[in-house]
């Protein structure tokens, strides 16, 4: 790749848009497609490429100046439906599943002129925090190929960090956008539940799931959210709330902003380098004129337990439809019962089986009230903690993850240790509020560290304001992986 092409992969989304309008979508496509194919041999971030999708923008006859994302390549997580392209959730059980329709977010990207660039690897059915549970091999972190990129949207985050694409879509059920964004040194936004349509997202936990952008900069995330957000009548959980122009919130001014530090998020066992970087981020905000104060979210300690009751119950219900009858893999067998057993035994990986079994157990007769119902009640208490805290502050600032990226295989045989990787992100999904991870520093080993900003429901603008000011003040986003 020539130096000029290399520099083009470092363009911001707005700069790339100018290039695409002047030179055509095909020119931009060729640059990123070549780089993605070369680097994917190392990273395994993409499962499939779909360069044919670029062709429509060359023949539509539309004026590129009317398309706010004309020619912009956007990678798509493997659990989001793209018409005519396999959507398999990185699972063998959905091999060959070709959706006949686009997810609403894909429709909106196409209307804006963006291009579904390729399909990203992930944890199977989004069950994981490391992108190791994929049936097609683990994703590797571009900052250190021996480490995980986080999960479950690890392929999406790695592809953006490695400059294989300009932006990517991920989904976030318990931290699956923000935790990989932290591990890969990029920006990841989990919108408010209901802000972005879930139509066409293959469900994990229906009361948790949200689609959101993963980008290199805060401005890029704002430009993508301007297209993705908004009410969708095809999604019954979609909120009929007006969508602002998020780019108007991108100002370097946080004076008077009240930012809370929840004491429950600075815990024993957290990596000291993570705590140091996050506390330094708080001091940066203080120096810029924000007010920093301590707050409490007392039920946070129950979040992981509640999540792995309620979310696995929803997962068990949602995955019941994958049985070899209509979708994907179908095993040969003499009886229907044998076909079910053989298909699901061969099709689902170990983590998927674990969550199906756990979810079925907590929903079963005699255990529903003891586990699932009690979990929902504690979830309400967690949501009320956030409501109370947000009476005192405008934002809350926390670590995104308790450690930088860990090594591949380090936690594979310890499910509890893996689940605790999301201890700081899960409460956000339980409460349904928006949150963003963005880079706030690097470990001594050169690994990215992310800080998490949380806001009240549908106040993504406040997050964008604070995130942009911090990003421009510190410049951590400018550092690139040593590929």
Hey, which residues are catalytic here?
Answer: 77, 152, 176
CB contact at 8 A, 418 and 168: no
In terms of Cβ atoms closer than 10 Å to its own Cβ (0-12, 13-18, 19+), residue 369 is: exposed
Among 463, 470, 474, CA closest to 428? 463
Q: How far apart are CA 365 and CA 399, in angstroms?
A: 39
Q: Are 458 and 239 in contact (CB under 8 A)?
A: yes
| Phi, psi for residue 295 in degrees, rounded to 5 | -135, 170
**Token pair in block for residue 360:** 């079925």
The residue among 262, 268, 274 whose CA lies nearest residue 299 is 262
| 374-389 helix and 303-318 helix, angle to the nearest 10 degrees | 120
3-state secondary structure of 304: helix
Token pair recorded at residue 209: 């799931």
Distance CA 299, CA 274 (A): 23
Record the tokens describing residue 399, joined without a space: 């670590």
Q: How many CA atoms lie within 13 A of 181 on its CB side?
A: 37
Query: Residues 22-29: contacts with CB within 8 Å, 24+ apart?
Result: 24/58, 24/71, 25/54, 25/57, 25/58, 25/64, 25/70, 25/71, 25/113, 25/115, 26/54, 26/58, 28/71, 28/72, 28/73, 29/54, 29/71, 29/73, 29/115, 29/117
Q: Are 211 and 228 in contact (CB under 8 A)?
A: yes
């Amino acid at each position: 790749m020539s130096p000029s092409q290399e520099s083009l992969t470092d363009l911001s989304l707005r700069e790339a848009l100018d290039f695409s309008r002047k030179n055509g979508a095909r020119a931009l496509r060729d640059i990123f497609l070549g780089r993605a194919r070369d680097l994917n041999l190392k990273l395994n971030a993409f499962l499939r490429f779909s360069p044919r999708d670029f062709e429509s923008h060359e023949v539509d006859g539309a004026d590129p100046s009317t398309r706010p994302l004309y020619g912009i390549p956007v990678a798509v997580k493997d659990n989001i439906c793209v018409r005519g392209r396999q959507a398999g959730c990185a699972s063998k059980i959905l091999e060959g599943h070709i959706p006949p329709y686009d997810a609403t977010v894909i429709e909106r990207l196409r209307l804006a002129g963006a291009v579904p660039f390729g399909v990203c690897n992930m944890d199977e059915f989004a069950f994981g925090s490391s992108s190791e549970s994929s049936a097609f091999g683990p994703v590797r972190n571009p900052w250190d190929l021996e480490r995980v990129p986080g999960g479950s949207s690890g392929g999406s985050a790695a592809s953006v960090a490695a400059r294989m694409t300009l932006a990517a879509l991920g989904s976030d059920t318990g931290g699956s956008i923000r935790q990989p964004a932290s591990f890969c040194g990029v920006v990841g936004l989990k919108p408010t539940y209901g802000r972005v349509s879930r139509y066409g997202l293959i469900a994990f936990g229906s009361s948790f799931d949200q689609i959101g952008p993963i980008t290199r900069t805060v401005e890029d995330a704002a430009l993508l959210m301007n297209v993705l957000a908004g009410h969708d009548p095809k999604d019954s959980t979609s909120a009929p709330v007006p969508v602002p122009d998020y780019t108007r919130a991108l100002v370097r001014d946080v004076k008077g902003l009240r930012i809370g530090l929840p004491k429950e998020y600075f815990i024993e066992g957290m990596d000291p380098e993570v705590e140091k970087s996050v506390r330094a981020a708080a001091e940066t905000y203080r120096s810029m004129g924000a007010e920093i104060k301590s707050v409490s979210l007392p039920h946070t300690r129950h979040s992981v337990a509640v999540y792995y009751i309620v979310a696995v119950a929803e997962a068990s219900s949602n995955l019941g439809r994958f049985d070899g009858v209509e979708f994907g893999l179908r095993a040969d067998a003499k009886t229907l019962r044998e076909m079910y057993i053989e298909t699901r035994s061969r099709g689902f990986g170990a983590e998927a089986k674990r969550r199906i079994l756990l979810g079925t157990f907590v929903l079963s007769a005699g255990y529903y009230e003891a586990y699932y119902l009690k979990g929902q009640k504690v979830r309400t208490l967690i949501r009320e903690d956030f409501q109370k805290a947000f009476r005192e502050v405008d934002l809350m600032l926390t670590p995104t993850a308790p450690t930088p990226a860990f090594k591949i295989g380090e936690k594979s045989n310890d499910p509890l240790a893996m689940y605790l990787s999301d201890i700081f992100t899960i409460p956000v999904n339980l409460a349904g509020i928006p949150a963003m991870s963005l880079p706030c520093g690097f470990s001594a080993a050169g690994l990215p560290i992310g800080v998490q900003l949380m806001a009240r429901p549908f106040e993504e603008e406040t997050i964008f304001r604070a995130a942009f000011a911090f990003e421009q003040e510190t410049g951590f986003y400018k550092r690139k992986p040593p590929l």
